[in-house]
Amino acid sequence: MTDSYGDGWGGAELDIFQGLNIIDSVTLSGGSSGWDTFCVDAGQQFAVSWDNTNQSFDDTETFVILQGNSSNGTAMCTSSNPSYGLVTDCAPTNFGIMTCQ
């Protein structure tokens, strides 16, 4: 996760969905970059939604979703400066299936 201003996402977050249920929310709480993790049930597809309703400052946020970890993960999708709601760059059809390790 990155933030162009260096103050974190200022209250914005990614909500992770399986079906209609939010299973996790991740954010960059401060700084210019960082990592967070979420876990998907084995064999399940997921979607991500950008929620910036609590964002205090609008700058450029970027995230990459990896299967694996930060040193040897496979990029599943990348989005820069997403709009509120479902992140269509990361639609479920692009994800395939991910599982936790």
Q: Could you tell me how many helices (H) and strands (E) the chain has, helices first?
A: 1, 7
Average pLDDT (48-75) is 82
Q: Is the pLDDT of residue 101 over 60?
A: no
Give 18-22's long-range contacts (Cβ < 8 A, gap of 24+).
18/44, 18/45, 18/46
What are 9-49's pLDDT values in tens digits? Answer: 988 999 998 888 899 999 999 999 999 888 887 777 788 88
Q: Is the pLDDT of residue 93 over 70?
A: no
**pTM over the 0.85 mark:** no
Q: Which amino acid is at 69?
A: N
Q: Is the pLDDT of residue 92 over 60?
A: no
